[in-house]
Amino acid sequence: MAVAHTGIQTGENPPAAPAQPEARKHGPWLGIFTGIVIAYLFVPIIVMIAFGFNNPAGRFNFVWNEFTFENYTTLFEIRELTEALRNSLVVASISTVISTIIGTLIALALTRYRFRGRSGLNLFLFVPMASPEVVLGVSLLALFVTLGVGRGLMTIVIAHIAFSISYVVVTVKARTSGLDTNLEDAAQDLGATPMTSFWTVTFPLIFPGVLAAGLLAFVLSLDDYVITVFNAGGTSTLPLWIFGASRIGVPTQVNVMGTLIFMIGVVYVIVALVRERRQR
Amino acid sequence: MRETRRRRIAYLLLVPGVLFLTVFFLIPMFTMLSTSFMEGTPERGFDFTGHWQNYMESFSDYDTQIYRSLVYGLIVTVVTLALSFPLAYWIAFRGGRRKNLYLLLLLLPFFTPFVIRTLAWKQILADNGIFLGPLKDLGVLTDDFQLLATPTAVLGGLIYNFLPFMALPLYVALERLDPRLLDAASDLYSDRRQTFFKVTLPLAMPGIFAGSLLTFIPAVGDFINSELLGSVRTTMIGQVIQRHFLTTLDFPAGAALSFLLMAGILVGVFLYARALGTEELTG
Taking contacts as CB-CB distances below 8 angstroms, the residues of chain B near A18 are: 183
A157/chain B closest Cα distance in angstroms: 11
Of A23, A135, A145, the CB nearest to B42: A145
Cross-chain CB nearest to A140 (options B28, B35, B104): B28
A249 touches chain B (CB under 8 A): no
Q: Does A133 touch chain B (CB under 8 A)?
A: yes
- By CB neighbour count within 10 A (0-12 exposed, 13-18 middle, 19+ buried), where does A64 fall? middle
Residue range A4-21, pLDDT digits in tens:
333 333 333 444 444 444
Domains of chain A: 25-78+257-273 (no CATH), 85-250 (1.10.3720.10)
Per-residue pLDDT tens for A111-167? 888 788 888 888 888 888 888 999 999 999 999 988 888 899 999 999 999 999 999
Q: What percent of chain A has pLDDT over 70?
A: 90
Tell me whether residues B14 and A42 touch, CB distance under 8 A: no
Q: What is the 3 state secondary structure string of chain A?
A: CHHHHHHHHHHHCHHHCCHHHHHHHCCCHHHHHHHHHHHHHHHHHHHHHHHCCECCCCCCCCCCCCECCHHHHCCCCCHHHHHHHHHHHHHHHHHHHHHHHHHHHHHHHHHHCCCCCHHHHHHHHHHHHHCCHHHHHHHHHHHHHHHCCCCCHHHHHHHHHHHHHHHHHHHHHHHHCCCCHHHHHHHHHCCCCHHHHHHHHHHHHHHHHHHHHHHHHHHHHHHCCHHHHHHCCCCCCHHHHHHHHCCCCCCCHHHHHHHHHHHHHHHHHHHHHHHHHHHC
pLDDT in tens, B161-171: 999 999 999 99
DSSP string, B196-212: IIIIIHHHHHHHHHHHH
Using the Cβ of B86 and the Cβ atoms of chain A, whether some distance falls under 8 Å is answered with yes
pLDDT confidence of residue B282: 42
Q: Quick check: A48 contacting B, CB < 8 Å?
A: yes
B interface mutation test: which of A25, A32, A41 has the most B CBs within 10 A? Answer: A41
- Report CA B57 to chain centroid distance, whole Å: 26
* CB-CB under 8 Å, A239 with B114: yes
ipTM of this predicted structure: 0.85
Task: Indicate whether B32 pLDDT > 50.
Answer: yes
Separation of first and last alpha carbons in chain A: 36
Task: Domains for chain B: give ranges and CATH numbers.
Answer: 62-275 (1.10.3720.10)
Q: Do A273 and B238 touch (CB under 8 A)?
A: no
Task: Please tell me the predicted confidence (pLDDT) of residue B39.
Answer: 83
* pLDDT at B209 exceeding the cut of 80: yes
pTM: 0.86
User: Which of B109, B220, B241 faces A41 most closely, judged by CB atoms?
Assistant: B109
Residue in A133, A226, A261 closest to B113 by CB: A261
- Chain B within 8 Å of A67 (Cβ-Cβ)? no
Query: Which residues of chain A have a CB within 8 Å of the CB of B114?
Result: 223, 225, 239
Mark yes or no for CB contact B14/A105 under 8 Å.
yes
